[in-house]
């Protein structure tokens, strides 16, 4: 079983992940170790920087009783010598039972899956997809709001290059929700995503304003590393800043989420606001990835 994209992910699979995450949550919170994946090896191949995804997958695997190998800097691997992705995957498959991979190129995870029979889990492929982030985001919404169906979700910030947005939009599209996309005109979400969501019966609106009373405001950083032109980045770098003043224009029950890292789009002064859930959201990465690993690698 590969976890490549949320685009064609079935609702039944998502609900299974959420249910299993619910069971893993108290285990993760107590930092107990299970033996579900004892004797199994996970390879983490990170061709791009990562803090939360890398560490939470490592923690999740160890809490399930497994072992982790891999690298978090391609310069320390044979990639620096010119080894192709296909060859790297062919080699690593003989060392591990599954591979978690982050790569700067869109489609890299799908390509890797063509060269191995062991599971590939996409930990981010360029500006395309980050499916396990979307699953932990859904769990955060379910845990904090007690439901997903019936909610209005505002996805804001860099909708063009933000892979977390793309994955979450498609995942939300499996539920009965309304989605508001808020971004500067230059960072609008791709039209085919809008069309896919509308075809699925999802209510979609677009705006350039993050003042909202939605049930959830999911804010993202502007993806500087994805811009082909630094001047274009600088034009939108501070498009949205959530601080004490702008927070007054957000609904009193609007949950604030962010996949992190943040740059300047959420100021530290609001971290203790009851609506701010991004650090809680980050913590749910462990039980969610425990659930995913147990499903992908379990007997």
81 has catalytic annotation: yes
243 within a domain of the structure (yes/no): yes
| 269 and 135 in a common domain | yes
| Active-site residue, 44 included | no
pLDDT tens for 256-270 read 999 999 888 899 999
Residue 5 in any domain: the answer is: no
Catalytic residue status for 174: no
In 10 A of CB 231, how many CB atoms?
7
2 inside domain:
no
Catalytic residue status for 32: no
Query: In the predicted model, what is the mean pLDDT of residues 23-27?
Result: 95
Residue 126 belongs to some domain of the structure: yes
Of 7, 52, 62, 262, which residue is the catalytic one? 52
Say if 194 falls within a structural domain: yes
CATH code of 70's domain: 3.40.50.1370
Q: Are residues 82 and 192 in the same domain?
A: no
Residue 15 belongs to what domain range?
11-130+285-297
Three-point CA angle 55, 59, 61, nearest 5°: 120
Q: Are 167 and 231 in the same domain?
A: yes
132 is catalytic: no
- The whole-number pLDDT of residue 240 equals 79
Q: Which of 6, 20, 40, 102 is catalytic?
A: 102
pLDDT grade for 223, boundaries at 50, 70 and 90: low
Residue tagged active-site, from 81, 146, 272, 274 = 81
Per-residue confidence band for 299, with pLDDT thresholds at 50, 70 and 90 = low
* Domain tally, the chain: 2
Q: How confident is the model at residue 191 (pLDDT cuts 50, 70, 90)?
A: very high
3 inside domain = no
- For 242-265, what is the mean pLDDT? 91
From 130, 174, 221, 277, active-site residue: 130
In this model, does residue 227 exceed pLDDT 80?
A: no
- Each residue of 94-111: pLDDT tens digit? 999 999 999 999 999 999
The catalytic position among 6, 21, 44, 53 is 53
In a domain, 204, yes or no: yes
Residue 164 lies in a domain: yes
Q: Are residues 140 and 261 in the same domain?
A: yes
**pTM for the predicted model, two decimal places:** 0.92
| Average pLDDT value for the chain | 91
189 and 260 belong to one structural domain:
yes
């Amino acid at each position: 079983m590969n976890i490549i994209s949320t685009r064609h992910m079935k609702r039944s699979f998502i609900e299974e992940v959420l249910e299993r995450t619910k069971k893993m949550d108290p285990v993760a919170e107590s930092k107990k170790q299970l033996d579900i994946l004892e004797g199994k090896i996970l390879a983490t191949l990170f061709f791009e920087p990562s803090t939360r995804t890398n560490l939470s997958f490592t923690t999740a695997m160890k809490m399930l009783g497994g072992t982790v190998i891999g690298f978090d800097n391609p310069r320390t691997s044979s990639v620096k010598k010119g080894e192709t992705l296909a060859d790297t995957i062919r080699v690593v498959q003989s060392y591990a039972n599954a591979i978690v991979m982050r790569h700067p190129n869109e489609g890299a995870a799908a390509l890797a899956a063509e060269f191995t029979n062991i599971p590939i889990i996409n930990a981010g492929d360029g500006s395309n997809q980050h499916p396990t982030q979307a699953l932990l985001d859904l769990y955060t919404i379910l845990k904090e709001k007690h439901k997903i169906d019936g909610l209005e979700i505002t996805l804001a910030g860099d909708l063009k290059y933000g892979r977390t947005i793309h994955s979450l939009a498609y995942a939300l599209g499996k539920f009965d929700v309304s989605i508001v996309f808020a971004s500067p005109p230059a960072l609008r979400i791709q039209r085919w995503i809008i069309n896919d969501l509308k075809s699925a019966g999802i209510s979609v609106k677009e705006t350039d304003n993050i003042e909202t009373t939605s049930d959830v405001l999911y804010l993202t950083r502007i993806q500087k590393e994805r811009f082909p032109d630094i001047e274009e980045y600088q034009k939108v770098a501070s498009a949205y800043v959530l601080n004490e003043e702008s927070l007054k224009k957000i609904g009193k029950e609007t949950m604030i989420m962010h996949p992190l890292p943040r740059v300047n789009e959420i100021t530290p002064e609001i971290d203790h606001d009851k609506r701010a859930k991004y650090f809680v959201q980050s913590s749910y990465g462990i039980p969610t990835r425990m659930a995913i690993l147990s499903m992908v690698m379990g007997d």
